[in-house]
Chains A and B, each alone.
Chain A
Amino acid sequence: MSKRDYTEFNLGPQHPALKEPETFRVVVEGERIVKAEAILGHTHRGIEKVAEQRDYNKALYLAERICGICSFAHNANFARAVEFVADVEVPERAQYLRVLVAELERLHSHMLWLGVLAHEIGFDTFYFLVWNDRELVMDALETLTGNRVNYGMNDIGGVRADLTPDIKGLLMRKLDELGPRLEKIKEIALKNKTVISRTKGVGVISNELARKTCVTGPTARSSGINWDLRRDQPYFAYGDLDFDVKVSTDGDVYSKITLRIEELFESMRIIQQVLEHLPEGRIKTDVRGKLDGSAVSRIEAPRGENFHYVDFRNSKEPYRMKVRAPTYANVVSSVEVLVGHYISDIPVIVAANDPCFSCTDRTLVIDRDTERYQILTAKELRKLSIETTKEEIM
């Protein structure tokens, strides 16, 4: 194979297919991809470091701003980690309210994803139809929490806003309206011939690859990994609620569409149950003073497993905060899968994991040697870091 058969080009950091700055460097032969790599780190904002300078009540709002879509997941996860350290009991009503907002957020996130995917495959009509229906969920969230995106719903030890009968009635109405619309979306998405031709058999993440690259969330569940923190390690009030975890074994983009649409219906069921069985009582336990100790909290964000670690050393400011967002785990798998596909498939495969690079880019950078195309092993990395440190000291 001579060298001139190949074309190398960058998809991103500024590209219409990517909603956030991220580079995918692909080498193509004609339109077929022979090599692909992701270069992350364009939206690094140093949130973890900034959090170390603020007390936990303020860092809570910082955590919320890690991601614009799954803001509640980060916010609630941070609150939960701090609650572990403070060793407080969160009132049951607050737990249920957290589930309510988390599931509403899952609804809007999955619908957003459906729209984005439709846009990536050039099906703009579906994109607008889905996003139009998504406004119902956004309105519900706005009425309940006071904001469309960064809800500010959580406080350390509980939630800030209660569910009044008025808002409950409004949520019920919105959900009743949403149900038939979701049925319609399901029918359009799963039966349209062109959607099937663009997504079926595309970007298949095999069970093996899924395990190797440690994917999470719907991406993992579509590859046959039966894992959902909501069921397997119940947090908030999920233990009391009845819902199914959908699993598919195909691993392609079409199965991800099917899976997420089914998850939409499960979320509707969960919200229905929460509204019916919301216990009475307080919504907040106060947390005050300095904390000591560290804790890890994991919750199932719409895109996958969300990990927060906080460490307090007899202070109000966290000594260390560490976040691992689901996209970071998922993007590796999509890069692996790209090889062998065509240029048209890049946006579909990348978007299929619901990538959120704002979540991802905080501290780490993937860097691969472009010319020799090798992944550095842990040993080599360690050696490299020692060398660079030495150089810096010299």
Chain B
Amino acid sequence: MTELERHSYDVIVIGAGGAGLRAAIEARENGKRVAIICKSLFGKAHTVMAEGGIAAAMGNVNSNDNWQVHFRDTMRGGKFLNSWRMAELHAKEAPQRVWELETYGALFDRTKDGKISQRNFGGHEYPRLAHVGDRSGLELIRTLQQKIVSLQQEDFRASGDYESHIRVFSELTITRLLTNEGHMAGAFGYHRETGDLVLFQSPAVVLATGGIGKTFKVTSGSWEYTGDGHALAMRAGATTVNMEFIQFHPTGMVWPPSVKGILVTESVRGDGGILTNSEGKRFMFDYIPDVFKEKYATTPEEGDRWYTDPDNNRRPPELLPRDEVARAINSEVKAGRGTPHGGVFLDVSSRLPADVIRKKLPSMYHQFKELADVDITAEPMEVGPTCHYVMGGVEVEPDTEETRLPGLFAAGEVAGGLHGSNRLGGNSLSDLLVFGRRAGLGASEYVDRVGGAAPAVTDEMIAEAEAEALAPFGVEGGENPYTIHSELQETMNDLVGIIRTESEMQEALAKIEGYKERIRSVGVQGGRAFNPGWHLALDLKNMLLVAEAVAKAALERQESRGGHTRDDYPAMSPEWRQVNLICRSTGDAVELTRQPLSPMRGDLLDLFEVSELSKYLTESELPKGEH
């Protein structure tokens, strides 16, 4: 038996997408020694797939934009279930976070006067998304990656060691967080390449592990999206909030089958693309909900005029928030007006010249050409909803991103609150930057407060973690983890998907209980070096815990709001808006409790008309007096 590999750091950041890297930069700028743990190679995290851009009210394209407008849009998009404090911080700080990226070397597309260009997106009142064509996520992650490298170069000049303050651990998966008397003490995991186990001791851990997409069958998420952070946090004693809210992005590819679910950026619609059904009708005009009636065009003519004259026309309903568009597409397909492959048409070919399409949407052009033999400059795309994002997540304190477990922080998709019941496009990349930075800062301040040393990790804790990680090797002829995974994905897609009912969710929970039994007897073939079967067997435990939290919360919430649509409770309820659903792990099950939302601060409430608030809030919550 070889000696266990051990490391000690001030801050461990689990996850190397936008939030994790920004957190690591902040912790290092605050003098902390930081370990960055990536499940894949450095620079490959899921952030790379974001296409549209970073929402920030810089006002470069329309000077009427400011943080108050962005705040309002975010709250409306989330149907007022958002953590209003997070939405406020996000709207205020996003511009600084984008400008900072330019100091790291980012090269955004420009306006005519040389500023960062901004594009229109669903739910955003003004052009707001800083972008680079349709590969904005790649620019974001590469920029942060290169900033980390530049900090390592600074450290090298100072100490002769590139890794004196930041070390990147690639292809390393964390299987368990370690706590001592209710405080963060470290993390335990394995190197994917060798299968060697490794212990990190640290008083502070930042979770930045992203989402849970791989729990669903049709998803825009990669293999990494197995809900690791959600599960690690719950098992260690932290909580999640509102896990029922899952965003189904309205436009995923639907054909060929092997690419089903891959994202088609909302920029296609932001730049003029329209949705039509098999009868050639622009159907979104039939799906403008009451709460948005005054904000959207009622005729195609008005919608088309908006692109060139936004001050005197209302935006087309193709740019409604994502939950509305996804439900509309779902309804059209169900009503028999879908395309041959079960989607609807998204057409930009009749709207923009071919060279403009190739320039503005290069990776969409490339993706359809190479994967589907479709030339989007000449013919429409076929698209349909795909599981894209989880609005719910680990419950955090809005200013510091600390969870209920002292020393554990969370930022980015793994954290809950900012987006309420539905996230606006573009608000994810800004979320990563604003709250990644705040989590890095929160963790640094925490380390200063507790005096730097991590609580002890006992041999017993290590032995338990080892046994857990290696358990699948001890099962002779056990069940194949791939089989259970694919059954779980079908269950979640079919029974806890875009439209939900009580009986189906009960059925899903019963099936999840069955998978929980079966997972005990999952076995793996082969050795410990880079063994995907073993990796999946461990990831599957996280997915099951997350799936149970999603299904239980979805069953509990008896209303329809944002990314949670109940066939049996189709209306949005002001009473339910006052409720957050909190999940904890009891060891072998998920326990759910209700928790009241904190009332919005008066000056933020004053940013809205009472007539609008009355669509969301109960009578007693409405501000009294003149507005």
Bound pair (A, B): no
- List A residues at the B interface (Cβ < 8 Å): none
Residues of B in contact with A (beta carbons under 8 Å apart): none
